[in-house]
Structure 1
Amino acid sequence: MNPILETSDLTKEYGSRRGIREMNLQLYPGDVYGLLGPNGAGKTTFLKLITGLIRPDRGSVALFNANIADHYAQGMQHVGSMIESADFHDFLTAWQYLKLVARFYPHIPDQRIERVLEDVGLWKVRKDKIKNYSTGMKQKLALAAAILPEPKLIILDEPTNGLDIEGTVMFRKLIARLSEESGTSFIISSHMIHELEQLCNRIGIVYEGHLRKEGYVSQLLQANQSLEQHYIEEIQVAKGENNRA
């Protein structure tokens, strides 16, 4: 099975050890991959690199067998993303905003907009101005925009930030349904370990710009440890290595 995403020695360095270094990751059809790490570990930098929002210092990104440095449109045509805080035109309604997003894609009918608004729980407030939305409602609208064109790969950065318990449950069910029914693949960046444990089939632990450990969640849990225990142990090992360096 060929990967739909492959990074090779992907590197972007900032000052004070920030950024990512020589990150090699493969994502396969149907994967729900959790990118787990503390704040500042490099998760958002990685997501910006694979979506072409920033350029790497070295290394490459291939999406659907297209190197995005040379064939960006081809690689991104089947990708939806929600990275960092969404920036909206607050004078629009949710319906108007998604109609605007739909113009960037061919043949998205109004029925599709209706469906995603229902899926994320915004149907009843679709005619309200976005400026009156809470942080959680804006997060839901950003998710709606990401799934609107029915992409094969959806990239989400801290998607449950600002969501209440009901919204978090909605998000979890939506990801599971899209993965199971449509075969949609996901990369989900988060520091919410328990959420990723429930959502993902694969996990990658990132610390100080390095992909420290990868594994299938089912195999990690067979060792009679929680994902949290694996994470803490790996971070402690990394800190010990840094102290000896």
Structure 2
Amino acid sequence: MNITLHNLGRRFNQEWIFRRIDYTFSSNQKYAILGPNGSGKSTLIKTLTGQLAPSEGTLDFSIAGVAIPIEQVYSHVSIAAPYIELVEEFTLNELLDFHFKFKSYLAGFDKDVVVDLLGLGKSRSKELKYFSSGMKQRVKLALACCSDSNLLFLDEPTSNMDLEGEAWYLDLVHKTSRPDRVLIIGSNQEKEYAFCDSFLSIVNYK
């Protein structure tokens, strides 16, 4: 899968968050979008996932050279981000059942495997509103990474996580890597993206 950006820009009112980005994201590669807080990393990710329309330029999506219409891109995307909310009235079992009605499990994964991966077997029937912030972050990451998607976006992936959680995150990324997947991480912490192949600094596109 490829995402090709042609002169891409996004602004709010008269302020350009980024502009003139010409870049291609390709399968079997891991990318990091870098920049300080408030620099526009999340805005770029929202544009790449179709949550925001570009203010200028175009985005092209394709698989094996076949174009994918923008209105169908959502079916190829999974994402974990601070602005993506969990349904906290659901139990963990209910959330997994709900999420995977819309997404297929990644090959080799199922409900029991994901629960075991989370280490939350004793909390399957607990409502998410009673989970700690670190537990919720693990759930967000597992839902995204264990979904069968060509495009995986992780924005600030270790927010609310302790050192054990950070190590768990790195192991999760390793276990769910696939040759046909594009991984894009938005971060300003090297520990979250040190394993990436390519780096795009948002401050170069102001």
When normalised by structure 1's length, the TM-score is: 0.74
Report how far residue 106 of structure 1 moved.
5.7
The 2-side partners of 1:158 and 1:171 are apart by 11
Cα distance in 2 for partners of 1:16, 1:120 equals 44
- Tell me whether 1:205 sits opposite 2:204 in the alignment: no
The reply to whether residue 196 of structure 1 matches residue 193 of structure 2 is: yes
Q: How does 1:112-191 map to 2 (within 5 A)?
A: 112-179=110-177, 182-183=178-179, 184-191=181-188
Where is the helix percentage greater, Structure 1 or Structure 2? Answer: 1
TM-fit CA distance, 1:195 = 3.0
CA contact (8 A) 1:42 1:206 kept: yes
Distance 1:18 1:126 in 2: 45
Alpha-carbon distance change, 10 to 129 in structure 1, aligned in 2, over 3 angstroms: same
Within 5 Å, give how 1:50-129 maps onto structure 2. Answer: 50-65=48-63, 70-73=69-72, 75-105=73-103, 112-129=110-127
State the alpha-carbon separation in 2 of the partners of residues 22 and 190 from structure 1.
21
**Letter matched to residue 45 of structure 1:** T
SS at match of 2:53: coil
Contact 1:122-1:140 within 8 A present in 2 as well: no
Q: Distance in 2 between matches of 1:127 and 1:18?
A: 46
Query: Are the equivalent residues in 2 in contact too, given 1:36–1:193 (CA < 8 A)?
Result: no
**Which SS does the other structure have where 2:170 is aligned?**
helix
| Farther-moved stretch of structure 1 (23-32 vs 79-88) | 79-88
Unaligned runs of 5+ in 2: none
> Secondary structure of 2:102's partner?
coil
- Mean alpha-carbon deviation: is it higher for 49-58 or for 12-21? 12-21
> Superposition RMSD on alpha carbons, in Å?
2.4
Quote the offset at 1:9 in angstroms.
Answer: 1.3
Following TM superposition, the consecutive aligned residue runs of length 4 or more in structure 1 with deviations greater than 6 angstroms are none
Q: Is the 8 A contact 2:50 2:70 kept in 1?
A: no
> Number of residues paired by the alignment?
202
Give the TM-score of the pair, scaled to structure 2. Answer: 0.86
Alignment of 1:8-27 (within 5 A): 8-15=6-13, 17-27=15-25
Q: CA deviation at 1:63?
A: 2.5
Tell me which protein shows more strand as a share of its residues.
2
Larger CA Rg, structure 1 vs 2: 1
Give ranges in structure 1 of 5+ residues lacking alignment.
Answer: 212-245
